[in-house]
Amino acid sequence: MSLIPMEYYLILSAFMFCVGVAGVLIRRNAIVVFMCIELMLNSANLTLVTFSSYLGNSIGQVFVFFVMTVAAAEAAVGLAIIIAIFRNKKTVNIDEINIFKW
Amino acid sequence: MDQNLLLTYLLLTPIIGSVLVLFFKQEQKQLIRWFGLAISLIAFVISLIIYFGFDQTNSQFQFIHQVTWIKSLNISYHVGVDGISLLLVLLTTFLTPLTLLSTWKAIEKNVKMFTFSMLFLEVGMLGVFISLDIFLFYIFWEAMLIPMYFIIGIWGGERKIYAAVKFFIFTMFGSLLMLVAIIWLAVYASSLLGHFTTNLIELYKVGPTIPHEIQSWMFGAFFLSFAIKVPLFPLHTWLPDAHVEAPTAGSVILAGVLLKMGTYGLIRFCLPLFPQSAVNFAPVISVLAVIGIIYGALVSMVQTDMKKLVAYSSVSHLGFVVLGIFAMTVESVQGAVIQMVNHGLSTGALFLLVGVLYERTHHREISFYGGIAKLVPLYSTVLMIAMLSSIGLPGLNGFIGEFLILIGSFKSAVLNSWWFTIFAASGVIFAAVYMLWMYQRVVFGEVKNEELKHELTDMNLREMIVIVPIFIFIIWIGVYPSTFLKLTEASTQSILQQVGSYTINLFK
Amino acid sequence: MNVQIILFIVLASVAAITSVAMITRKNPVICAVFLVLNFFSLAGLYLLLNAQFIAVVQVIVYAGAIMVLFLFVLMLLNTETEHKLFADKRAIKFFAILISAFVFVQVAYLIFHGSPSRTLTPDEAASVKAGTIQAIGEQLYTNYIIPFEVAGFLLLAATIGAMVLAKKKFE
Amino acid sequence: MINLIYLTTLLPLLGFLINGLFGRKIKNEKVIGLIGSATIGISFLIVLGAFIQTLGLPIEERSNTVNLFPWLNVGGLQIKFAYLVDQLSLTMSLIVTGVGFLIHVYSIGYMRGDKGFWRFFAYLNLFIFAMMNLVLGDNFVVLFLGWEGVGLCSYLLIGFWYDRKFEKGTTSQAAKKAFVVNRIGDFGFLLGMFLIFMTFDSLNFKEVFARAASFPVAESTFGLIALFLFIGATGKSAQIPLFVWLPDAMAGPTPVSALIHAATMVTAGVYMVSRASIIFASAPVIMTVVAVVGLLTALMAASIGLVQNDIKKVLAYSTVSQLGYMFLAAGVGAFSASIFHVMTHAFFKALLFLGAGSVIHGMYDEQNIQKYGGLKKYMPKTFLTFFIATLAISGVPGLSGFFSKDEILWSAYANGGFVFWLIGAITAMLTAFYMFRLVSLTFYGKERFDHHNVHPHESPALMTVPLIILAVLSVVGGYIGLPKVFFGEHGNLFEGWLEPIYAPAMNKLSLYGEHTHLEEILLMTVSVAAALSAIFFALHVYRKNPQIAENISNKFKGFYNLLLNKYFVDEAYEAAVVQPIQKGSEKFLWKIFDVKFIDGIVNGVASLVENSSGVIRKIQTGIAQSYALIMMAGIALVLLWLILSL
């Protein structure tokens, strides 16, 4: 591990995060958007683990554990919401779901 | 039991109550109603305990309870009462159960949410009156907007959304300015005392030292916020709409307590915090107050809707209160405090009674009625008493307040002119005109509408239980006002001393 | 070339490529499969970082449970594939990609500018010890016991919430 | 007994509460009537006891204060709920409870069978309660309590038959008019009180009057106080310019007219002026104003009374006219004469109204005197008593009215001047004329009523006994105030009794210039002769030759119409005051200023925000992605800023 500078991990994490952002911004399928968010969460996890490992401190990994818990909960609820929306609107295309407008 | 915790208990009772209400089932309407009533009665009992434990000769705040809240900014949960706030606390806890009881039949839609809103509203109102931390005060001041917004917006009349939004935006507009002033004040205090503070008692020493010009702006910001709430002419136009559209209970609380928060704010903040500016602006404000008195009465006279009539009469009555406060004599300020309570009682009673009619016929236009004295004699008598109290008949409460305010403003050194009193007193004439005219058209004469004969029934027991306690106080204040005047005397004196010590000496 | 470096290069490029592939595939099921691949490569990277526990959890929870859930919903709803990624709102989408790239460049610059490796001297032994299930467990059940319990409640609430939301109608 | 004086207000209040709260349940008219009358009767006895006790005291100790409880204690304002028992308040109390009791008894008969019987007695008792507070109050605020209280009762009782029509409107309109006009007067009274408090730092009668006599206060201040108080008095006592409510007040039941609008309430203004005599005496200009207003009111009302055809309307204008006399007396400094006239007027005017009530009762609610005629034989007792009262009011020597009226006229001459006396005497002549016109048209001449439907009958004893008692009082009531010119200083017991009350005022006024007894006797003879000739003329015209009256009215058509329409005062007020305020409030203040202007600004700001945000809201597509994009752009900018600031 010490052979690899931690910047590489961080760059990878940043790359994945930005890809995730791009995905959120350009995809139309709600489920795919959702997956992109998972990707972003994972990139954050990577950063946490990297620092935890390089600092020799396990707290970062504890946080990753919590993030995963939250991600799991979020996935469950989020998918349920998508199902509910699909049932009402017969679509998961977020271009057509513009209820944020009043 | 620790005496100083009593106010916290008082505040907690409706909080816990409103949370518990949420656990009921929507269908258990009757149970929810009884529960809400019970909670508000407990709050009333606690406030009575506070009243009996209160030392009336002491002008300091009592029952103080202080817990640090946001340490870095020195903001604390800090509550306490003096005579003025205690009187208004009593008014609040007294009116809340009555209004809840009055809605027994009128509110059928979403009783759970309604009871929740009312209890939540009570928390907000009590909090405003007992906060000794200006930041805490602001939070309660804003928090109470939310339930009121819903009460008007959900259970209101035809134009309820318009009225609710108007009410909300008007009030919000003023209070944002107040927030800015609060922050400025706290920052200024930190430059003076070396630490940031929102403690009202400390700020009392800070406020008067603010440079003159800036103080005027601060005063203006606070005053505008309170003036909208009062409401002072020409900021009153939200009031008729809100009153007309609100359900009866909303109107009663709105008139009975919410408007008092504005005048309370004037006494508690504007006067002692910025005494120099208050004295400077007193004549201008009094002119507005006097215009409000006459204007409210004249406009009230030509209304066709009973609720609107009562609403405009509130503008007139509150004009008296503001005049009393800014005349800054012991008599007038005491009168203003008493008049706040009076207005709460008599206008509250009038709204309740209009509500009684509305519940039966679903009409509020004066022209729809006529000759109901024959059909509902008891109601007519009760309405007459409420009306007489409102027009200030000696022996009933309204007279005491108006008389003290007028006599105080007449000899006021701050206003220094009779014209205020002369014009204000003419409001007494108009009050008789609009009230009696309304009464004549509604109650006297031949029965105008055949529908009335079928729909109208006289006051029932529940409605009498609501109205009789109010009448007891109406007569009590009229005949033996010392009970109430004594309560507020020391506090009034100390506030005026605070003002006087920084400006001209008002106590010769 | 150390095995570690080779492993890193392989895993990192797999992660990068799969992530890009994931957002560019039209068929959501394919996307999901790429995401699983991405998760697996991340798990490998965690192992490289001596985080054994997290690596295992990553495989079980993410690649296993969560992604299965996603696939399941995809199958259930059977949504149509997006025909063309840049069919409409092209300007906006290009702008989005541009922004993301810009942010990436900025972050990369910041990382190199800060270069944490200059100040951090990695300690292999401590790192290994930190990644063990024992060390994490110790933290979780002592210092983080309350968040841990709360997390449990969160999961419970999410379970109930998901059930209520996905149910057809309230009875 | 003096210490028990609070019972005289407490008992009527109790009566009010019992009848008011339980009257509907009691139903039995006898019980209700008994409660109503007995409370007043006992009050009268207590007042009588207090009176006798006071008579036994030496003159310096005749003024006693009975403290009840502190009422308003705020700052410098210390107001006790206390009663002042002195010569003046005792005199008024005796009139109020005495006449009040008789009218209560009369009402039991008059109101029999009315569905609002209990309500009527409750209101009457409430009235006595308020009136007693008015006369007994030991400070201006208690007086004001009673002052407003009697106004309220007047309102309630005028509108008692709330579903009946009255003239062009309803009784409740008349009631409202009375209350509102009274309120205008009260406005003046309130300001007067404030000014008193400011000047003398007290509202207690004794303190204020003591200070008024000794404090160095500018005459203009006194003038202003007196003017404000007098405005109050004109409202309550129906003087120019606020007299318009009293004729309309006849919409109420007749006993009410007798009690409130003749004997007691309307004299409250006179009482107040005479109570504050020292203040008025310190403001000579206002004294003249009072006298002139009184004189003009007396003349104007008497002239209107000449042509009215409603029996109660004639009496109402007569009341206004007599009240004018009282103010004339007060205005020329003869305060005791004005109170004397209050007393005698209470007797004969109450009697006239009750007699009129008896006639109306016997004629099935017909009030138009043109439809009476020849009732003498049907109602002998009513006729007799009515006739005595008419003689008394006309100032026929030997009856009570003569003594009081003569004293007033003499004072007017002595302190005011010849013109005052002349107008007063003309008014007396007119009074005699229209009263005998009334008597002739009612009791003499042809029977002009419809014999098929109307069978005139005498009223029951419950009604006639009070009439007889009042008739006796109307005859003998004057003998406590015999003219000094014939009987010397001791002849006028009444003036001697009230003398200590007015002593400070008299010290300020330098009255009674040099006048010979011959002058007084001469003037008296002239005015009596004038009155008598008017009586004979009236009897001649209306008993025997009605066509003369018709000829005269045809000849002076314009003037006749002017009188018939009461100088168009009501119409003028309506056009000049009521309509502008009402229309202005509705059309301008509400519909334009409030709704268009203020709300216009508010809504204008709102729509400005709405329109401008309508432009901005285009950004808000409602699609989450576009929000995220903007957020991202924000993040990019923040990062850029961060990098550039490194």
Exposure b/e, B456-473, CB count within 10 A at least 16 = b:
bebbeeebeebbebbbeb
> Is pLDDT of D595 > 60?
yes
Collapsing DSSP to helix, strand or coil, B158 comes out as: coil
Nearest to C103 among D626, D636, D646 (CB): D636
Model's pTM, two decimal places? 0.80
pLDDT digits (tens, 9 = 90+) for D314-369: 888 999 999 998 999 888 888 888 899 889 999 889 899 888 888 888 887 788 88
Among D207, D216, D218, D326, residue whose Cα is nearest residue D266: D326
Collapsing DSSP to helix, strand or coil, B394 comes out as: strand
Looking at beta carbons, which residues of chain A come within 8 Å of D643? none
D522: how many CB neighbours lie within 10 A of its CB? 11
In this structure, the answer to whether residues C76 and C27 fall within a common structural domain is yes
> Is it the case that chain A and chain B have 3 or more CB pairs lying under 8 Å apart?
no
The ipTM of this complex is: 0.71
Q: Which residue of D17, D69, D72 is the best one to mutate when testing the B interface, meaning the one whose CB has the most B CBs within 10 A?
A: D72
Nearest to D582 among B301, B429, B443 (CB): B301
Please answer whether residues A70 and C154 qualify as being in contact, where contact means their C-beta atoms are separated by less than 8 angstroms: yes
Subunits in contact with chain D (3 or more CB pairs closer than 8 Å): A, B, C
Please answer whether residues C151 and A70 qualify as being in contact, where contact means their C-beta atoms are separated by less than 8 angstroms: yes
Inform me whether the C-beta atom of residue C166 falls under 8 Å from chain A C-beta atoms.
yes
In this structure, the answer to whether residues C18 and C71 fall within a common structural domain is yes
Looking at beta carbons, which residues of chain D come within 8 Å of C105? none
Distance CA B309, CA B467 (A): 20
Judged by CB atoms closer than 8 Å, whether chains meet at B299 and D197 is answered as no
Looking at beta carbons, which residues of chain D come within 8 Å of C110? 639, 642-643
> Which domain does C71 fall in, by range?
3-82+95-131
pLDDT digits (tens, 9 = 90+) for C128-155: 888 888 889 998 899 899 999 999 999 9
Inform me whether the C-beta atom of residue D616 falls under 8 Å from chain C C-beta atoms.
no
**CATH number for C56:** 1.20.120.1200
Burial class (CB within 10 angstroms; exposed 0-12, middle 13-18, buried 19+) of D26: middle
Looking at beta carbons, which residues of chain D come within 8 Å of C100? 632
Please answer whether residues B426 and D187 qualify as being in contact, where contact means their C-beta atoms are separated by less than 8 angstroms: yes
Nearest to A101 among D620, D625, D628 (CB): D620
Distance CA B325, CA D277 (A): 35
Distance from CA of A28 to the nearest CA of D (A): 9
> Is pLDDT of A95 > 80?
no
pLDDT band at D576; cut points 50, 70, 90: confident
Please answer whether residues D238 and D323 qualify as being in contact, where contact means their C-beta atoms are separated by less than 8 angstroms: yes
- Assigned domain for C39 exists: yes
> Is pLDDT of C1 > 80?
no
In this structure, the answer to whether residues C108 and C151 fall within a common structural domain is no
Q: What is the pLDDT of residue B506?
A: 46
Distance from CA of C88 to the nearest CA of A (A): 10
Subunits in contact with chain B (3 or more CB pairs closer than 8 Å): D
Q: What is the pLDDT of residue A2?
A: 65
In this structure, the answer to whether residues C24 and C102 fall within a common structural domain is yes
The 3-class SS string of C119-163 reads: CCCCCHHHHHHHHCHHHHHHHHHCCCHHHHHHHHHHHHHHHHHHH
Our CA dihedral for B313, B315, B318, B324, rounded to 10 degrees, sits at -110
Ordered per-residue pLDDT tens for chain B, 508 residues? 567 888 888 888 999 988 888 888 888 888 888 888 999 999 999 999 989 888 888 888 888 888 888 887 788 888 888 889 999 999 999 999 998 888 888 777 888 888 888 899 999 999 999 998 888 999 999 888 888 888 888 888 788 888 888 888 888 888 888 888 888 888 888 888 888 888 888 888 888 888 888 888 889 999 999 998 888 888 888 888 888 888 888 888 888 888 899 999 999 888 888 888 888 888 999 999 999 998 888 888 888 888 889 988 999 999 999 999 998 888 899 999 999 999 999 999 999 998 888 888 888 888 888 878 888 888 888 999 999 999 888 888 888 999 999 988 888 888 878 888 888 888 888 888 888 888 888 888 777 777 777 778 888 888 888 899 999 999 999 888 888 888 888 888 888 888 888 776 444 4
Please answer whether residues B90 and B120 qualify as being in contact, where contact means their C-beta atoms are separated by less than 8 angstroms: no
Q: What is the pLDDT of residue B507?
A: 44
Half-sphere CA count of C61, side-chain side, radius 13 A: 21
Nearest to C99 among D626, D632, D646 (CB): D632
Q: What is the pLDDT of residue D638?
A: 92
The 3-class SS string of D191-235 reads: HHHHHHHHHHCCCEHHHHHHHHHHCCCCHHHHHHHHHHHHHHHHH
pLDDT digits (tens, 9 = 90+) for D57-109: 888 888 888 888 888 888 778 888 899 988 889 999 999 999 999 999 988 88
pLDDT digits (tens, 9 = 90+) for D413-423: 888 888 888 99
Q: Which residue of C92, C93, C103, C109 is the best one to mutate when testing the D interface, meaning the one whose CB has the most D CBs within 10 A?
A: C103
Judged by CB atoms closer than 8 Å, whether chains meet at C77 and A71 is answered as no
Which single residue is written with the structure tokens 């292999």?
A: C124
Exposure b/e, D386-420, CB count within 10 A at least 16 = b:
bbbbbbbbbbbeebbbbbbbbbbbbbbbbbbeeeb
pLDDT digits (tens, 9 = 90+) for B75-112: 888 888 888 999 999 999 999 999 888 888 877 788 88
Judged by CB atoms closer than 8 Å, whether chains meet at C46 and A49 is answered as yes
The 3-class SS string of B202-234 reads: HHHHHHHHCCHHHHHHHHHHHHHHHHHHCCCCC
Looking at beta carbons, which residues of chain B come within 8 Å of D71? 479-482
Q: What is the pLDDT of residue D619?
A: 66
Which token pair is D505? 């005022």
Cis peptide before B234 (omega within 30 of 0): yes
Sequential DSSP letters for A65-89: HHHHHHHHHHHHHHHHHHHHHHHHH
Q: What is the mean pLDDT of residues D374-382?
A: 84
Residue in chain C closest to D626 (alpha carbons) equals: C92
Please answer whether residues D90 and D53 qualify as being in contact, where contact means their C-beta atoms are separated by less than 8 angstroms: no
Q: What is the pLDDT of residue C12?
A: 93
Helix extents (H) in B304-449: 306-327, 330-361, 372-375, 377-390, 397-410, 419-443
Among B507, B428, B417, B406, residue whose Cα is nearest residue D194: B406
Q: Which residue of B332, B436, B447, B489 is the best one to mutate when testing the D interface, meaning the one whose CB has the most D CBs within 10 A?
A: B436
DSSP state of C116: G
Highest mean pLDDT among B188-192, C13-17, C75-79: C13-17
Looking at beta carbons, which residues of chain D come within 8 Å of A97? 623-624
Instruction: Count how many residues are written for chain A.
Output: 102
Q: What is the pLDDT of residue C79?
A: 67
pLDDT digits (tens, 9 = 90+) for D242-255: 888 888 888 888 88
Q: What is the pLDDT of residue C84?
A: 65
Helix extents (H) in D372-448: 380-394, 400-411, 418-443
Inform me whether the C-beta atom of residue A89 falls under 8 Å from chain C C-beta atoms.
no
Judged by CB atoms closer than 8 Å, whether chains meet at A94 and D627 is answered as no
Q: What is the mean pLDDT of residues D211-237?
A: 87
Q: Chain A, 20-79: which have a CB under 8 Å from a chain C CB?
A: 20-23, 25-29, 31-32, 34-36, 38-39, 42, 45-46, 49-59, 61-62, 64-66, 68-77, 79
CA D17 to chain centre: 24
Q: What is the pLDDT of residue D282?
A: 87
Among D244, D248, D247, residue whose Cα is nearest residue D235: D244
- Describe chain D by its helix, strand, coil percentages, rounded to 5: 80, 5, 15
Q: What is the mean pLDDT of residues D183-212?
A: 88
Please answer whether residues D421 and D408 qualify as being in contact, where contact means their C-beta atoms are separated by less than 8 angstroms: no
Looking at beta carbons, which residues of chain D come within 8 Å of C106? 636, 639-640, 643
Looking at beta carbons, which residues of chain D come within 8 Å of B394? 141, 144-145, 147-149
- Assigned domain for C90 exists: no
> Is it the case that chain A and chain D have 3 or more CB pairs lying under 8 Å apart?
yes
pLDDT band at C86; cut points 50, 70, 90: low
Distance CA D275, CA D209 (A): 9
Among B271, B412, B343, residue whose Cα is nearest residue D75: B412
DSSP state of D481: B
pLDDT digits (tens, 9 = 90+) for D497-540: 888 888 888 877 766 556 777 888 888 888 888 888 888 888 88
Counted domains in chain C: 2
Distance CA B210, CA B203 (A): 11
Nearest to A12 among C15, C70, C130 (CB): C15
**Beta strand D165-166 with D169-170: parallel, antiparallel or unpaired?**
antiparallel
Distance from CA of C65 to the nearest CA of D (A): 27
Residue in chain A closest to C34 (alpha carbons) equals: A35
Q: What is the mean pLDDT of residues A75-93?
A: 84
- Assigned domain for C89 exists: no
Looking at beta carbons, which residues of chain B come within 8 Å of D613? none
pLDDT band at C16; cut points 50, 70, 90: very high
The full set of domains in chain A, from first to last, is 6-89 (1.10.287.3510)
List CB contacts of B480: < 8 A, sequence separation 6 or more.
D69, D71
Please answer whether residues B330 and D74 qualify as being in contact, where contact means their C-beta atoms are separated by less than 8 angstroms: yes
Q: What is the mean pLDDT of residues D445-453?
A: 78
Q: What is the pLDDT of residue B508?
A: 40
Instruction: Out of B200-214, D145-159, D175-189, D566-580, pick the least confident.
Output: D566-580
Among D47, D412, D56, D63, residue whose Cα is nearest residue D209: D63
> Is pLDDT of D626 > 90?
no
Q: What is the pLDDT of residue B286?
A: 92
The rounded radius of gyration (Å) of the Cα atoms in chain C is 21
Amino acid found at D47: V
Collapsing DSSP to helix, strand or coil, A93 comes out as: strand
Distance CA B464, CA B378 (A): 10
Looking at beta carbons, which residues of chain B come within 8 Å of D586? 302
Sequential DSSP letters for C6-44: HHHHHHHHHHHHHHHHHHH-SSHHHHHHHHHHHHHHHHH
Please answer whether residues B102 and B353 qualify as being in contact, where contact means their C-beta atoms are separated by less than 8 angstroms: no
In this structure, the answer to whether residues C123 and C164 fall within a common structural domain is no
Q: Which residue of D74, D148, D172 is the best one to mutate when testing the B interface, meaning the one whose CB has the most B CBs within 10 A?
A: D74
- Assigned domain for C156 exists: yes
Q: Which residue of A79, A85, A86, A95 is the best one to mutate when testing the C interface, meaning the one whose CB has the most C CBs within 10 A?
A: A79
The rounded radius of gyration (Å) of the Cα atoms in chain A is 17
Please answer whether residues D132 and D9 qualify as being in contact, where contact means their C-beta atoms are separated by less than 8 angstroms: yes
Inform me whether the C-beta atom of residue D602 falls under 8 Å from chain C C-beta atoms.
no
Our CA dihedral for B378, B379, B381, B386, rounded to 10 degrees, sits at 150
> Is pLDDT of A102 > 60?
no
D67: how many CB neighbours lie within 10 A of its CB? 11
In chain D, where the domains are located:
187-245+266-340+361-563, 571-611+622-644
- Assigned domain for C152 exists: yes
Inform me whether the C-beta atom of residue C107 falls under 8 Å from chain A C-beta atoms.
yes
